Amino acid sequence: MLKATWKRLPLSTNFAIAQAVKDSDVDVVSAYPITPQTTVVERISEFIANGELKAEMIHVESEHSAMSAAIGASALGARAFTATASQGLELMHELLHIASGLRLPIVMSVAARALSAPISIWGDYTDVMNVRDTSWITLIASTAQEAYDSVIQAYRIAEDPRVFLPVIVAYDGYAMSHTYEPVYVSEKSDAFKDYIPKNPQWYTLNPEKPLTMGSMASPEWYYEFKYQQVVAMKNAFGVVKEADEEYGKRYERKYGIIEEEGVDGSDVTFVTYGGIYGTLKESIEELRKKGEQIGLARIRLFRPFPSEIVADLAEKTKALVVLDRAITFGVNISGPVAREIISSLYARGIERNVYSFIIGVGQRTVTEKDIAAIYGKVKEMLGSHERQKESIYWGVRE
């Protein structure tokens, strides 16, 4: 077993992603620039230009073409990567369904960013939540180090014969993509070749073994293809867990499916995802010093959604407070993760108050004072035995 020796570098999350792509020995990178992901593919192009990564960089005219190129490369058996954000992710939306329907193990990083209109270049998770039904496995990182490790794990997950589905590694635009942290990266270019060996086992285009990909499916068969994706997503949950555990054994870092702290026996547990988790941790630490019994948890795996682990989490605490950074329009509980949690608990007959708060939309500032004030509001609602009927849009000016 190859052991990684590490060097510690100051990297933005974008640069950490690029480093992980290099260390994953990717074959093809398709690229179109969009803020705030552009420096991911810029750094990869530098690696290719100076000979650190032997890969083909395909410069395309749009994100739609970027995903098309990644699909073509993966269909030939190449290890493919692309990166995008916001409107770029929406422009390639059509192709996301094709990539997963063809069962191609593409990996894509998304520097999560708000969607137009009005135009916003700032970060929230609207773009990521818009693709939740495309059958892409979705990991959400909260640090640059986790983003680096998650890209490498993503190839292990995507290329597993039990899965053969594409993977998104998402993280906060700007708050993570452009801020620097110390990140441990491998000193050896081949440190991960045993963990993610190049051995394409998915269906590929090969003149010696002809097959057709993406042909017409009649009503007699289309449903079965979609059900195969359902099964693959179910399998993916265990594979994600295995990949993380194996990564931890080999490289001494692992993250789990849901990160939790101080949940057991707590009065309230806050749940969120992405970079805001750091602010949440600092806020909760201050509240605990005042004697408050508060837990906190971070959803790392969004698709497939970890319903069973969420249910276990809920049974350790008296109430859940979900902080979402995206809006599901037209419903009363409009936090996308809050809705997933409520559904998970209801299906298992678990009675818990789940309070949904929408925060940080369009990168609206969220501070420790906001978290303390949200906690105060929740205590007030719990004291009056009030069940929440609609999400609270925290910080909005009505």
**What are the pLDDT digits (tens) for 224-247?**
999 999 999 999 999 999 999 999
Which pLDDT belongs to residue 2?
A: 58
Locus of tokens 């806020």 = 283
φ/ψ of residue 224, rounded to 5: -65, -40
Residues of the chain with pLDDT > 90: what percent? 96
Residue 127 has pLDDT above 60, yes or no: yes
Model confidence pLDDT, tens digit, residues 340-398: 999 999 999 999 999 999 999 999 999 999 999 999 999 999 999 888 999 999 999 87
Select from 103, 204, 99, 109 the least CA-distant residue to 152: 109
Q: What burial class does residue 314 get, using C-beta atoms within 10 Å of its C-beta: 0-12 exposed, 13-18 middle, 19+ buried?
A: buried
Would the pLDDT of 138 be above 60?
yes
pLDDT of residue 398: 78
pLDDT, residue 4, reads 75
Q: What is the mean pLDDT of residues 139-160?
A: 98
Least confident segment among 50-54, 133-137, 171-175, 383-387: 383-387
The answer to whether the pTM exceeds 0.85 is yes
| Domains assigned to the chain | 6-251 (3.40.50.970), 258-393 (3.40.50.920)
CA distance 202 to 104: 7
pLDDT digits (tens, 9 = 90+) for 184-218: 999 988 899 999 999 999 999 999 999 999 999 99
- Burial code (b: 16+ CB inside 10 Å, e: under 16) for 68-105 equals bbbbbbbbebbbbbbbbbbbbbbbbeebbebbbbbbbb
Distance, in Å, from the CA atom of 82 to the CA atom of 109, rounded to the nearest integer, reads: 7
